[in-house]
Amino acid sequence: MAPSTTRRLVSMFGGGRAMLDVDSGELSRETDWDGSREKHARVPGKNGPQPRLTRQRSCKENINHFAAETYLISRLTFTLLRKLGVGYRWISQFLALVCYALLLMPGFLQVAYHYFSSKQVMRSVIYGDMPRNRMDLYLPANIREPKPVLIFVTGGAWIIGYKAWGSFLGLQLAERDIVVASIDYRNFPQGTISDMVKDVSQGISYVVKNIADYGGDPNRIYLMGQSAGAHISACALVDQAIRESGKGDSVAWSISQIKAYFGLSGGYNLMDLVDHFHQRGLSRSVFFSIMEGEQSLRKFSPEVKVLDPSFKDAVLLLPPIILFHGSDDFSIPSDSSKKFADALKKVGARTELILYDGKTHTDLFIHDPLRGGKDDLFEHIVSIIHAGDEEALAKDATAPPRRRLAPEFLIKLASMISPF
């Protein structure tokens, strides 16, 4: 039989496109760098064939992608420097960040290697028309049936967020048969808070409409944000509920498509955080610029919105909300999650607050994963996503402990000088 020539565009990504052969069901990845094609073989599943990656990207592709992404981050960094100017506090924080990254580089390099070389990672899938409307997809090695999906929104103080910051979490969850979509979005000064929320909402819309093409189960989608990403994703979630209650614009995706929301180390009432951030090095003037003026702080505070009586119908549409926070978090105090949880409970929303005693802002998301072994936060997330799936839970129970990626003395030194 002659090979099929009927092929349909499934998605665009940085440097190429994903094409579906209508007759064979084969999903292929074409690049613009060298004309090569990367195939995802279709394997049987309950809801039809599902994609499975069968070839690693070429070295040339990885080098080109790495160079392009490095250029983007460098360009935005220098743009930010021009915006902020030079000051003692900012310089000291920047130097602390550089030293922090150098100390943890042994672990970061291992994660980066897997990020760029793993055949289970689809980098820079395009979900929109604006700059940085990209996402990374982390696919389980064996997709014989649709897998649960976690949409992840990274943190970065609304300034240095980047989709690759979710690579450690994405790679590890993929090992537990969970598809992860790590969404990139415009950061300041490339965009302000309304741009960020719009980007994230559009990314969520892309996932719920297209994730079945990548082996994800559209009926088991979870949303998670970390730090600034928790704030942005919470804004997107609450805004979507308001739209669906009849008090907003058209609906691109439905709240009912999100089974639960995970907020990690987030801040949900901006008015309570202005002075705190100023003392930590994020000046009021810059913070107000990010949030589109002091008068907009209430508009972009999910805690304030859920307490607004005019939005009571919208609050009832929200999925279960689970908030995670370290008790010793100095970047965003754990009171931020406590107050948001109290506000949600007050208006009848389903919510749970999980505090980790003695954990800091970076312990939960960076240091504990680098330590290897058992990670309470990771296991909490996996147990919620796999709840009711006896086969997955049994596999989780026998999963080997994760290996250590950085020496303990380097992690402790890094935590002492961390700017976060």
Angle, CA of 62, 69 and 135, to the nearest 5°: 90
Check if 114 is active-site.
no
Check if 329 is active-site.
yes
How far, in whole angstroms, is CA 278 from its chain's centroid? Answer: 25
Query: Which is the catalytic residue, given 40, 231, 325, 361?
Result: 361
Give dist(CA 70, CA 321) in Å, integer. 35
Give dist(CA 139, CA 54) in Å, integer. 12
Query: Which is the catalytic residue, given 136, 177, 199, 329?
Result: 329
Backbone angles phi, psi at 244, to 5 degrees: -70, -20
Buried residues in 76-92 as b, exposed as e (16+ CB within 10 A): beeebeeebeeeeebee
119-to-40, 58, 316 alpha-carbon distances in Å:
10, 10, 41
Query: Which is the catalytic residue, given 118, 182, 227, 418?
Result: 227
DSSP string, 64-82: HHHHHHHHHHHHHHHHHHH
Give dist(CA 193, CA 186) in Å, integer. 9
Check if 250 is active-site.
no
Give dist(CA 108, CA 145) in Å, integer. 32
Q: Where in the sequence numbering do the catalytic residues fall?
A: 227, 329, 361
